[in-house]
Amino acid sequence: MNSDSKPFEQLLSDEVFLAGVHASDVRALWRALARTPEARKVADALNSEPETIAALVGYVEKLIAASRDPAYRHPDDMAICCALVVLEQSPLPVVRHLFARLRDAHDPSMVWVRRMARHCDERFVPMSYERFPALDWRGAARGHLAVRELPGLVWADPAMAERRHELNAA
């Protein structure tokens, strides 16, 4: 592995593997992997930088491409699943493409990876935070009605914006 993958090698730790193998379903697996210190360290190392996120995607690609028997469990499936947990909310095209490809993986060795990719894809919410002007009613009693900026959500996908009432009810 090159020096770019150094911070990501902790995903191959025994702790990540053991956290994942006891899960009975994909939700339990997600929770177990999200709680690991390794997942938090990798998420901190990404620091929302597109180059580092792309490096993690490249690292996952290397793990997937490792030689293995496709009929048996992938030796690094828990590390790949942990990386997917870390990457799940990234809107970068390289990440979304990785999820789309892994959702449709048909090898029996990739069953947990496929399930995790589908689960993380379902949890992904394409939106961004913006600020919008609003009246500040706190000063109205004193006769001062000012305009201040409040944070707000703006849906990045128009189709999701139309369905926002469905998502709020869930």
How confident is the model over 82-122, as pLDDT tens digits?
999 999 988 888 999 999 999 988 888 888 999 999 999 88
Rounded to whole angstroms, the Cα distance separating 69 from 110 reads 11
Work out the number of other CB atoms within 10 angstroms of the CB of residue 148: 11
What pLDDT score was predicted for residue 32? 92
Query: Does residue 77 surpass a pLDDT of 60?
Result: yes
CA distances 116 to 26, 77, 120, Å, are 6, 10, 6
Rounded to whole angstroms, the Cα distance separating 48 from 62 reads 21
pLDDT tens digits for 124-161? 877 554 444 444 555 555 555 555 544 555 555 556 55
What pLDDT score was predicted for residue 165? 54
Arithmetic mean of pLDDT over the chain: 78
CA distances 147 to 142, 144, 154, Å, are 15, 10, 20
What pLDDT score was predicted for residue 162? 61
What pLDDT score was predicted for residue 54? 93
What pLDDT score was predicted for residue 169? 47
